[in-house]
Amino acid sequence: MMATRVLVSMLLLAATSAVAQTVEHIEIKGAHALITVPEPWNGSLFLYAHGYTSDERSLAPIPDEIGQATPVLWPGLLGLVPDGYAWAITTFRSTGWDVKDAIKDVENLRRYFAKKYGKQTEMWHGIDLTMNVRPQGGLFFGGGLSTGRLTTDNCEIVAKLPETTPLTPAAFCHVQEPWLTQFKAIASYIVPKVDVQVSGTLQSVPGPPLQANFVVTNAVASPSLGRALSGGAANVTVPILSPTEMYGDRRNQIDMRLAKVFRLDRMRLTAGIDIANLTNASPVLTQSAAYATWLRPQSILTARFAKLSVQLNF
C-alpha cells in the first residue's frame, strides 16, 4: 500500500499543471514564425506549411491570434489540430514559387522547435514476411508474419518542459514494447467435379496493452501537494501501469466458408455458408482501466455464428 501511495504522489506532481499555453514569436533567417505549446501537451507537433501566395502581407510577423493573420497564411485549419498538440507555422522568407527556400524554412522551424522543446522519437524494429502459393488444382494459400517492437522516447521534452506534459510522467517517458508477433493466413480449395469451394482464414494477434488508472480527488491530493489541484480541478487521473507493462488476451480466430456452384445454362448460382469464429474462442477485447473495476471485461470476441448466402450470376 505504501508503494502505491508513493507512486501516486510522484505522478501527481506531473499531473496538476494549469490549463494554459505558451506562445512564442521568432524569426529564422528572415522568416517569421509562431509556436504555440498547450498545457497539457501530448509531446506531438503539428507543423503547418502554407501554399503558394504572391501577397506580401503574408511575410509580416504573425499575430498571437492566428485568426487575425492573412487567410492565405492560415486558411481556417486551426480547427483541424487535435487537442493536446503543439503547432508551429512559418511565413517563409519570400513569396512566389520558391519551393527550395520554403522547404528550408519549414525544416529550420522544426529544428528550432526540437532543440528548444525537446526531441521525440518513435522507432519500430522488426520484420514482415508474406507469401502466396498457387499450385495447380484450384488450391491457393497466402499468409504473413510480422514480429517486432515499438520504442518511443520523449524524455527530452519531459525534462525541458515537465509542466506541459502531465499526460506523460517521467517514469513513462521511455517506453519499449516487448517483441510482439502476429500471424495471418488464408487458404482456399475448389473440390473438382463437384464444384465445392472450401476456404478459411486464420489470424493470431497479440492482445491490447492494459491500462490501470487511479482517479485522485482533490481531497486526497491536497495533503501531498501542499495545495489544491491546479485549475480548480475536482480530481486528476493518474496512470499506474507503464503502457507496455501488461497485455490482454491473445486473439486466435478461425473463419471458414463452404460454397457450392450450380451451373444453369448461362446462369451460375452459388450457395454458401460462412462460419465466423469456428472454435468459438472468447478472448477479452477491451476491459476496464479504472482502479475500482480494473480488468472487468467490457467486450469479448463475438461468439461463433453462421451466415447463409445465395448469389446468382447471369
pLDDT digits (tens, 9 = 90+) for 206-237: 999 999 988 888 888 888 778 887 667 788 88
Q: Which of 271, 285, 136 is nearest to 210 (CA)?
A: 285
Taking all residues of the chain, what is their mean pLDDT, rounded to a whole number? 82
**Full-model pTM:** 0.65
Does residue 242 register a pLDDT over 60?
yes
Phi, psi of 78, deg, nearest 5: -55, -35
All structural domains of the chain with their residue ranges: 2-117, 121-209+244-313
Per-residue pLDDT band at 44 (split at 50, 70, 90): confident
Q: What DSSP line would sit under 88-123, residue for residue?
A: EEE--SS-SS-HHHHHHHHHHHHHHHHHHH---EEE
3-class DSSP state of 156: helix
CB contact at 8 A, 260 and 240: no
